[in-house]
Amino acid sequence: MRLARRSAALLVMGMAGALALSACGAGDGDDANGDDDALSIHWLAARSADEGMMQAIQKIADEYKEDHPGFELEIESIPSRPDYLQKVRILAASGELPDWFDADTEPYFEEIVASGATADVGAIYDEIGVTDNFYPIGLDYPKLEDGSIHSMTFQGNIEHFWYNKDLFAQAGVEVPTTLDELLDVSEKLEEAGITPIAMEGADRWPQMRYLSFLPFRESGNDFIEGLKSGDAQMSDPEGIAAATYFQDISQYFQDGWSSGDYATARDLFVSGGAAIYYIGSWELPSFLDEQGELLPQFDRFAMPAAGSDDATLLTDMFAHAGIGTAINVDSDTPAMREWMKYLFSRFADVSLFDFNSLPSMKPTTTEGLSQIKIDLLDELNGVKDFAHVWDVRLDPDTVDVIARESTNLALGQEDPEQFAKLVDEALAQNQ
């Protein structure tokens, strides 16, 4: 995420003994947050400051400061996931979590919440009157196991296969409707001298998406939840089939993909160097012209079906609200809530209209929006059963094993059975 991008697991630490300390520390702005004009927020963000939703929040903060001269929003951006995780680990251990910090709803974050270190965001939403303004995914995605919400969401992400219509026409292929057809289309693209799929291996979350397609279509989220609970194994027939499909499709990724980063894969596709790119709507600005309309060479298709008796609909796919942002419980003051009320009254419109970023909240109007944005918002609102993100649902150590060994699987250094065995060992060790 990344998670989102961006939907990758965030608070990946094994320092449960330090959790009690995190509940005791004051946020960085604790001394200053006594009234509106003195509110100071230190936000530790696991994303780049130039992302659309980040720019939207900064613009709104600048507006707010005009009437609240003592207000400050300091954003410490650490886009590198390992560096971010190391920073949060240190702060959690010392009881110095900042006012805001980014977090996915993965197991370690639930432990931080259980320690009492974070504010109840769901209750804040209710108090400031914004709960009903969110799309369903904006409220459902950040819910913890007990149904509570302890992180704010800003993005409305829905993931698709984006494709280059010109390259499809050049190869004489149509949009695939099944996962097997996706293999066939990729083979024909390659035969036509076209790189079929742009893929990045540095973040490694896209690999887990490809691993998940077949199980999700065939049984919904049962398989990933079974892996989490211990009721399923990667060596089960469903897991072997998923690993086999990933190995089959990976031969159509560009050369060097396993070490390629996010920007490399995106730029390869946008420049016409590859025909297909699986990515979320957070990347929409890359596919738009200066007027905010979809460039004529690009279009999208949903995760294809597995067969005729799938457990999920084509309208069910990976949809989420991106990386959440938690609030230090010591920073939850009346002044903070007043700022949040203003932020959420403006955010959807500013994000969507000014920065081409789909929000987790409904805009006040869709008048003047390009058709692609209207369509994506309708799709986001229509998702009934969204796919669970593997790298959030599973423990971080197992995620590391899946990411590493799926690369070996793709490169032919192990077969699906060997891959499954290593994943099952990690699951057994870390559950």
Residue 200 pLDDT exceeds 60: yes
Element housing 42 (H / E): strand 40-45
Of 96, 143, 142, nearest in space to 328 by CA = 96
Residue 36 pLDDT exceeds 90: no
When pLDDT is averaged across residues 84-104 and rounded to a whole number, the result is 89
Q: What is the pLDDT, as a whole number, of residue 292?
A: 87
Pairwise CA distance, residues 234 & 428, whole Å: 11
The answer to which of 79-88, 242-251, 313-322, 352-361 has the lowest mean pLDDT is 79-88
Residue 111 pLDDT exceeds 90: no
Pairwise CA distance, residues 258 & 349, whole Å: 38
pLDDT, one tens digit per residue, over 362-383 is: 999 999 999 999 999 999 888 8
When pLDDT is averaged across residues 123-134 and rounded to a whole number, the result is 97
Instruction: Please enumerate in sequence order all residues whose Cβ is within 8 A of that of 32, keeping only pairs 6 or more positions apart, or say none.
Output: 38, 39, 40, 70
Model confidence band, residue 17 (pLDDT cutoffs 50, 70, 90) = very low
**DSSP per residue over 56-68, as a string?**
HHHHHHHHHHHH-
Q: What is the pLDDT, as a whole number, of residue 31?
A: 42
Pick the CATH number of 3-156+321-363 from 1.10.10.10, 3.40.190.10, 3.40.50.10070, 3.40.50.740: 3.40.190.10
Residue 77 pLDDT exceeds 90: yes
Pairwise CA distance, residues 244 & 92, whole Å: 40
Residue 26 pLDDT exceeds 60: no
CB 233 within 8 A of CB 239: yes
Order across the sheet with 100-103: list the strands.
72-77, 40-45, 100-103, 324-327
For residue 401, give Cα distances in angstroms to 103, 162, 242, 375, 394: 21, 28, 16, 37, 11
The token pair at 30 is 């604790």
3-state secondary structure of 326: strand
Model confidence band, residue 125 (pLDDT cutoffs 50, 70, 90) = very high
Residue 215 pLDDT exceeds 80: yes
Q: What is the pLDDT, as a whole number, of residue 35?
A: 47
The letter for the amino acid at 250 is: S
3-state secondary structure of 206: helix
pTM, entire model: 0.83
* Higher-pLDDT residue of 261, 192: 192
Model confidence band, residue 384 (pLDDT cutoffs 50, 70, 90) = confident
Model confidence band, residue 22 (pLDDT cutoffs 50, 70, 90) = very low
Helical ranges in 291-415 per DSSP H: 334-349, 355, 371-382, 390-393, 396-410
Residue 88 pLDDT exceeds 50: yes
Q: Is 412 exposed, middle or buried (0-12, 13-18, 19+ CB in 10 A)?
A: exposed
Q: Taking all residues of the chain, what is their mean pLDDT, rounded to a whole number?
A: 89
Pairwise CA distance, residues 400 & 184, whole Å: 30
Domain with CATH 3.40.190.10 in the chain: 3-156+321-363, 159-317
The CATH code that applies to domain 159-317 is 3.40.190.10
| CA triple 237-238-243, angle to 5 deg | 95
